[in-house]
Amino acid sequence: MNTKKVLSISNVSKKFEDVIALDKLTLDMEHGVFGLIGPNGAGKTTLLRILLGLIQADDGKIEVLGLDSSTESFEIRTRVGVLHEHPIYPPSLTVKHFLDRVSKLYSTSKDSDELLDLVGLSDAKQRKIGKLSAGMRQKLGVAQALVGKPEMVFLDEPTSNLDVMARRDLLNTIL
């Protein structure tokens, strides 16, 4: 069993003007599936942005897959798949064309047809992204997060815009 830490957060704090988003957060996670749950405004998205090196913490240290998020963020982003809270997609591309383009960014990638089947979008692969429902775009985001065969995946609000059945199916896919 692999017990190596995949995520190490030590005394991380982040403040935006007078709002404390994170206050001395400390957390270690080993290989496996885990979720971070909290109300809106609790700092979950802020933490994700710090993990990816998109913003800097005010204090503390974070390592993702053994890499320092403040100095090795590019390497982290090449090894981690991400579904952001509000992804933006090119509306004129088809679902399959979009995933095929994204896969070219990686030296190794999963087959787009396989990913579309995994997230339940096989029947929509020739549809333009701009014609997809919000739930279908969310599923596309999960497929995009998985395309580069990531070592770790961060999903920010993965079930938003999904009905009950689609949520269940997506969570079963993720888990």
Question: What domains are defined for the chain?
Answer: 5-71 (3.40.50.300), 95-151+159-174 (no CATH)
Can you give the pLDDT at residue 1? 44
Residue 44, pLDDT above cutoff 60: yes
Q: How high does pLDDT run on average in the chain?
A: 90
Pick the residue with more confidence: 91 or 138? 91
Handedness of CA 161, 119, 166, 37 (dihedral sign): negative
Q: What is the pTM of this model?
A: 0.85
CB atoms within 10 A of CB 148: 20
Residue 161, pLDDT above cutoff 80: no
d(CA 73, CA 120): 31
Q: What share of the chain is helix, strand, coil (3-state, %, to 5)?
A: 35, 25, 40
d(CA 91, CA 128): 6
Output DSSP code: residue 149.
-
Give the pLDDT mean for 47-53: 93
Burial of 71 (0-12, 13-18, 19+ CB in 10 A): exposed
Residue 41, pLDDT above cutoff 90: no
Give the pLDDT mean for 109-124: 90
Lowest mean pLDDT among 13-17, 34-38, 90-94, 113-117: 34-38
Give the pLDDT mean for 29-50: 88
Can you give the pLDDT at residue 3? 59
